[in-house]
Chain A
Amino acid sequence: MKGNEVLAEAAIRCGCDGYFGYPITPQSEVMEMLMFREPWNETGMKVLQAESEVAAINMLYGAAATGKKVLTSSSSPGISLMAEGISYIAGAELPCLVINVQRGGPGLGTIQPSQADYSQAVKGGGHGDYKMIVLAPSSVQEMNDFVDLAFELAFKYRNPAMILTDGAIGQMMEKVELSDYKKRWTNEEVIDKWGSWATTGKPSSRERNVITSLELDSEKMEANNQRFQKKYRQMEAEEQRYETFQIEDAEYVLVAFGTSARVCQKSVEIAREKGLKVGLLRPISLFPFPKNIIGELAPKVKGFLSVEMNAGQMVEDIKLAVHEAGCTRRVEFFGRMGGIIPAPGEVVDALEQNFLKE
Chain B
Amino acid sequence: MDVKEIIKPENQVYGKTELLTDNVMHYCPGCTHGVVHKLMAELIDEMGLQEKAIGVAPVGCAVFAYNYIDIDWQEAAHGRAPAVATGIVRINPEKFVFTYQGDGDLASIGAAEIIHACNRGENILVVFINNGIYGMTGGQMAPTTLEKMVTSTTPCGRDTALNGYPLKMTDLVAQLPGTSYVTRQSAQSAPAVRKCKRALKKGIKNVLDKKGTSFVEVVSTCNSGWKMTPVKANEWMEENMFPFYPLGDMKDSEKDKPVSNN
**Interfacial residues, chain A to chain B (CB-CB below 8 A):** 17-18, 20, 40, 46-48, 50-52, 54-56, 58-66, 68, 70, 84-85, 88, 92, 187, 199-204, 208-214
Contacts and interface: CB of A to CB of B under 8 A. Distances in A.
Nearest to B113: A55
B80 A46 contact: no
Interface in B242-262: 261-262
B87 A208 contact: no
A69 B167 CA distance: 38
B71 A62 contact: no
B87 A63 contact: yes
Interface in B46-90: 50-54, 56-57, 63, 66, 70-77, 80, 83-88, 90
A210 B86 contact: no
A201 B91 contact: no
B260 to A, nearest CB: 9
A52 B74 CA distance: 21
B80 A210 contact: no
Given A51-B113, A202-B51, A208-B71, A63 B88 contact: yes
A60 B63 CA distance: 20
A199 B74 contact: yes
Contact of A46 (B71, B75, B85, B262): B262
A124 B237 CA distance: 46
A210 B66 contact: yes
Contact of B91 (A52, A66, A209, A214): A66
16 contacts: A17-B91, A48-B90, A50-B86, A54-B112, A55-B83, A58-B80, A58-B87, A61-B80, A61-B84, A61-B87, A66-B91, A70-B87, A84-B77, A201-B54, A201-B95, A212-B74
A63 B52 CA distance: 15
Interface centre among B73, B80, B83 (most CB of A within 10 A): B83
B116 interface: yes
Interface centre among B77, B92, B261 (most CB of A within 10 A): B92
Chain A contact residues, majority secondary structure:
mixed
Interface in B90-116: 90-92, 95, 112-113, 116
A63 B92 CA distance: 8
Contact of A65 (B74, B112, B262): B74
Contacts of A70: 87, 91
A199 B72 contact: yes
A3 B52 CA distance: 39
Interface string B166-200: 00000000000000000000000000000000000
Contacts of B86: 20, 48, 50, 55, 59, 62
Given A20-B87, A62-B87, A202 B50 contact: yes
A51 to B, nearest CB: 4
Chain B contact residues, majority secondary structure:
mixed
A337 B75 CA distance: 40
B107 to A, nearest CB: 16
List 3 A-B pairs, minimum CB-CB distance, nearest first.
A62-B87, A62-B84, A212-B75
A211 B74 contact: yes
A63 to B, nearest CB: 4
A229 B197 CA distance: 45
B91 A63 contact: yes
Given A20-B86, A62-B83, A199-B73, 7 more contacts: A51-B112, A55-B86, A58-B77, A65-B88, A66-B54, A202-B53, A212-B66
Given A202-B70, A208-B70, A210-B75, A62 B95 contact: no
Contacts of B77: 58, 61, 84-85, 88
Contacts of A68: 91-92
Contacts of B52: 201
Contacts of B262: 40, 46-48
Nearest to A65: B74
B208 to A, nearest CB: 14
A310 B30 CA distance: 57
Contacts of A214: 63, 75
Interface in B120-178: none
Contacts of A58: 76-77, 80, 83-84, 87, 113
